[in-house]
Chains A and B, each alone.
Chain A
Amino acid sequence: MINIMLSAALVLFGVAILISLYRIIIGPSLPDRVIALDMIGVHLVSAIAIISVLFHTTAFLEVILILAILSFISTIAFSKYIERGVIIERKHDS
């Protein structure tokens, strides 16, 4: 029973990823797309967690943590780019 529920959840996450992808492709503005990518990251984190439960393993817990951090970083990078045009600013005195 729990397996069926977990699988159903996985499929739902898959649907959610597809819907986010639709937003990335269509999304009229760049922030739409960036948010959609961030959402895919979050979906992935949840999906991997469910997969870990399904597989009865703790090997993927690092992946969850790393993915959470990285999707945050890439969202930040995009936001900074959208705001400033550059990601790494040079020092003013140089």
Chain B
Amino acid sequence: MQSLNSCRVKIVYLFNCEIKSYLLQLDNFAKYFTIRNGGLILVSVNLLIIIPFIAAALILFLQKRVSRIHIGWFVLLIPIILFIFLVRYIPNIANGATYLHTINWIPSYGINFSSYLDGLSLIFGLIITGIGALVIVYSIYYLNENESLKHFYCYLMLFMGAMLGVIFSDNIMVLYVFWELTSISSFLLIAFWFQRKRSREGAQKALLITVSGGFSMLAGFIMIGNITGSFSFREIIAIIPDFYDHTLFIPAMLLILLGAFTKSAQFPFHIWLPSAMEAPTPVSAYLHSATMVNAGLYLVARFTPVFGGEGLWFWLVTVVGLVTMFWGSFTAVRQTDLKALLAYSTISQLGMIMSMFGMGSAALNNGYSADSVVYTQATFAALFHLINHATFKSALFMVVGIIDHGVGTRDIRRLGGLATYMPITFTIAMIGSFSMAGLPPFNGFLSKEMFFTSVLNIREANIFSLEAWGTLLPVLAWVASVFTFIYCMIVVFKTFLGKYQEERLEHPAHEAPVGMLIAPIILAVLVIAIFFFPNVLGDYLIVPAMASIFPAFAAEADLGVTISAWHGFTPELIMTIGVVVVGTLLFISLKYWKRIYALLPESWSFDSLYNAVLETVETSSNKITNFYMTGYLRDYLVYIYLFFIIVVGGTLIYTGALNFDIAGNAPIDAIDWFIAITMVVGSIAIIFAKSRLTAILLNGVIGYGVALFFVLLRAPDLALTQTVVETVTTVLFLVAYYFLPDWQKENSSRKTKSVNLLISVLVGAIFVVVALAVQNEKLFESISGFFENSYELVGAKNIVNAILSDFRGFDTMLEVVVLLIAGIGVFTLIKLKARKGEEELENK
């Protein structure tokens, strides 16, 4: 009774344990999805990345179910939800919280799907989801139901998920995976209208350039992983100071920068961006102004704590950025297509942001000190302008899309005087362009002022030999800004003012539908709102992002900058006034000096360089392949034998294995000499044989000679087989003789003949030498002693047959199979002929 009781207690106890462990698991599960700060139940950031991919898969099934509603409305939900999720993180991030979630992927290689949410990734996340939502709203009105919408939104969701993956990944290998996914989905989006040749060309160019950059980035990542032994950003940043002298440090930096420059369309890899303008306008607005081209900037910002402070990093990023800025704005003035103009302006603005990231990295040169905080302002300005650029550039692209949609052309020469017909579009375009030009009261003014401030600050730094060349930086920046001003004025004045030319338009101009205007209006409002309340953005978004870029500084000092529209009569203001005055003068006199563009002929552009390189690579590889793939078997045999001579002969000479010892060899009898001489004479005679029959006969002589050797060397089974096979071969030769073409005298030149002779002599000599040298390298006793007592082992007196069928029967079986296959092959070759009407596959 007692034992029963104790047993029951035990069972209850075990049961309780079971329940407890379940509860514990549930609790862990709940913790996984719960963010403890504030106790909000939110999805983890990992899930945030995966949602768009799931959506992309589901969209393909959606259209069949709902045909009446534009599927964009369903897709719209996803970025909105993601945006709201991210917005709820802002207060916690601003307080310095960061979120790390890890899902094991390939733990044995240190590759885990871990997402990291901090200030920097939050900014990009908000841009991607926020502008993503607006672009989808716009696209709902832009694309009509006749387009293959499900593909469009599927690619777009793929892209959004990949982009979120790039910015939220903590593991650089995972980042690379998403990086390539953005390249691929952008390739699909650019070639959305795949019937057009130019779309396909643009997509190909974008893919080639970004993927080659991506590959070099992968190499850089692997180097970083080798240096530090980790693929995690946070760990790399923590331990990289120990490895500044590592030999792979500089190569890794250069390769990663190459990846960032190609993705962000920096000089001279900018050429893919204008060609990518063949994409639908929502794609241009989203990918090529706000998101994908920012991926390179994100990478530079992310790697600033790793590489920043190095002179090479500073000069490369800053100078390439400024050159890109200048070249982009200079070329943009020349464009006649509005989208191409905006593409070059994007290149220019990206260069400006890139250069500011470069200038900001100078702060890390000597570690933390109160003096170097001033340089971090440049990074602050870069992040600020990044946000501003995303707002006004997307709005401008949407405006161009509206114009294109409304009047059927984007060519500046055919446009003009649209302001009275499209007042709202005109207002938005004006806000966007003036902001881009850096005029008050728009947000571009603030970031342009901060840009000038940081350029002027960096000139006074006495690091990286800046005292010698630093003055050039503000000059270049100022000239680039003047051109920026000019093309911004072109966008507004050449499109919306001037003479209205209805006869040159495809449709009469009219205001766009309301739905199309929603997204650009929201963006335009943002442009103005940021001007009036810039510090909200600065305190809540940019300061936490600065903490991620300058982790060591954030602990010591407040990196925030109070953005003010008016800070007295400073050099920056004078520079801005100068930009406006000179820019206006140049814009008015545009037609007089536009001739300088003719000085740079079309064939000197990087585009034609790219085309020429592609063409040269193709033709020259074609030439090389045609040179050695001649289609003649004799040439391929020459390659094979030459390879054999070089490798085997070279190894023999290199290793010095050419020692011969004839002490262990058997004596040679007179009969051996006779047989050998017979065979040598016969073989040489074959070469000079005048008819094929003689050759066959001589071949038989050699075969019988071999049989006799087998007899002399006491191998009766081999001798038997050899005689049979030799006879059968001779008969087969005779059978096939009837079908063979006439015996031709070889008509090759003396030179070819002597080369062939040399090769054959060398190959034969090497074989002889190897066979002789091998005799010396006997490392251990042969195993034939084991087979000698075959009678006890398998009951066979014939050792050869015992080996063939008992000890090594497996080989025999497969050789029988070989004979079977050969027999079947011969049978099919003879019997199965192409039936009538079928294509003859022979000789093709």
Contact = CB atoms under 8 A, between A and B. Distances in A.
Given A10-B671, A17-B674, A63-B719, A74 B731 contact: yes
A33 B712 contact: no
Nearest to A22: B681
A21 B681 contact: yes
B704 A41 contact: yes
Nearest to B671: A10
Given A21-B682, A24-B701, A74-B730, A14 B711 contact: no
Interface stretch (B337-345, B466-474, B733-741, B755-763): B733-741
A87 B716 contact: no
A18 B705 CA distance: 11
Interface string B147-172: 00000000000000000000000000
Given A34-B697, A87-B734, A18 B727 contact: no
Contact of B719 (A21, A60, A86): A60
A77 B731 contact: yes
B707 A44 contact: yes
B633 interface: no
Contacts of A70: 723-724, 726-727
A47 B708 contact: yes
A15 B674 contact: yes
Given A33-B697, A37-B700, A40-B701, A62 B720 contact: yes
Contacts of B707: 44, 63, 67
Nearest to A61: B716
Nearest to A88: B735
Interface size class of B (residues with CB under 8 A): 35 or more
B670 interface: yes
B694 interface: yes
Interface in B713-732: 714, 716, 719-720, 723-724, 726-727, 730-731
A66 interface: yes
Interface in A20-43: 21, 24-25, 30, 33-34, 36-37, 40-41
A11 to B, nearest CB: 5
Nearest to B694: A33
Contacts of A36: 697
Contacts of B7: none
B28 interface: no
A11 B735 CA distance: 35
Given A7-B670, A88-B735, A21 B701 contact: yes
Contacts of B564: none
A11 B671 contact: yes
Contacts of B726: 70
A37 B703 CA distance: 11
Nearest to B698: A24
A47 B707 CA distance: 12
Nearest to B727: A70
Contacts of B670: 7, 10-11, 14
A38 B104 CA distance: 79
A71 B691 CA distance: 21
Contacts of A21: 678, 681-682, 685, 701
B37 to A, nearest CB: 94
Most chain B CB atoms below 10 A, which of A30, A55, A70, A85:
A70
Interface in A46-88: 47-48, 51, 55, 57, 59-60, 62-63, 66-67, 70-71, 73-74, 77-78, 81, 85-88
Nearest to B716: A59
Contacts of A88: 735
Given A18-B677, A44-B707, A87 B671 contact: no
A44 B704 contact: yes
A87 B693 CA distance: 14
A86 B693 CA distance: 13
Contact of A30 (B693, B711, B719): B693
B580 interface: no
Given A30-B693, A44-B708, A81-B734, A17 B678 contact: yes
B675 interface: yes
A39 B708 CA distance: 15
Contact of A24 (B694, B711, B723, B735): B694
Given A41-B704, A74-B730, A14 B716 contact: no
A60 B710 CA distance: 10
Given A18-B678, A30-B693, A25 B735 contact: no
Contacts of B738: 85-86
A64 B737 CA distance: 29
Contact of B711 (A25, A60, A71, A77): A60
Given A24-B694, A25-B685, A73 B719 contact: no
A87 B674 CA distance: 33
Interface string B605-643: 000000000000000000000000000000000000000
Contacts of A33: 693-694, 697
A84 to B, nearest CB: 10
Contacts of B730: 74, 77
A71 B726 CA distance: 10
Contacts of A73: 727, 731
B407 to A, nearest CB: 82
B224 to A, nearest CB: 72
A1 B290 CA distance: 107
A11 B726 CA distance: 24
Contact of A11 (B674, B712, B723, B731): B674
B674 A14 contact: yes
B723 A81 contact: no
A90 B712 CA distance: 42
Nearest to A50: B671
B704 A66 contact: no
A88 B701 CA distance: 23
Contacts of B693: 30, 33
B715 to A, nearest CB: 9
Nearest to A62: B720
B666 to A, nearest CB: 14
B697 A87 contact: no
B704 A18 contact: no
A55 B723 CA distance: 20
Interface string B646-674: 00000000000000000000000111011
A6 to B, nearest CB: 10
Sorted nearest first, the 8 A-B pairs with minimum C-beta distance are: A14-B674, A70-B727, A59-B716, A25-B685, A10-B671, A63-B719, A77-B731, A74-B727
28 contacts: A7-B670, A11-B670, A11-B674, A14-B675, A14-B678, A21-B681, A21-B682, A24-B682, A24-B685, A24-B694, A24-B701, A25-B694, A33-B697, A37-B700, A40-B704, A41-B704, A48-B708, A48-B719, A55-B714, A59-B714, A59-B716, A63-B711, A66-B723, A77-B730, A77-B731, A77-B734, A81-B734, A81-B737
Given A24-B697, A37-B701, A70-B723, 20 more contacts: A11-B674, A17-B674, A17-B675, A18-B677, A18-B681, A24-B685, A24-B698, A24-B701, A30-B691, A33-B693, A34-B697, A47-B671, A62-B720, A63-B707, A63-B719, A66-B720, A66-B723, A77-B730, A85-B738, A87-B734
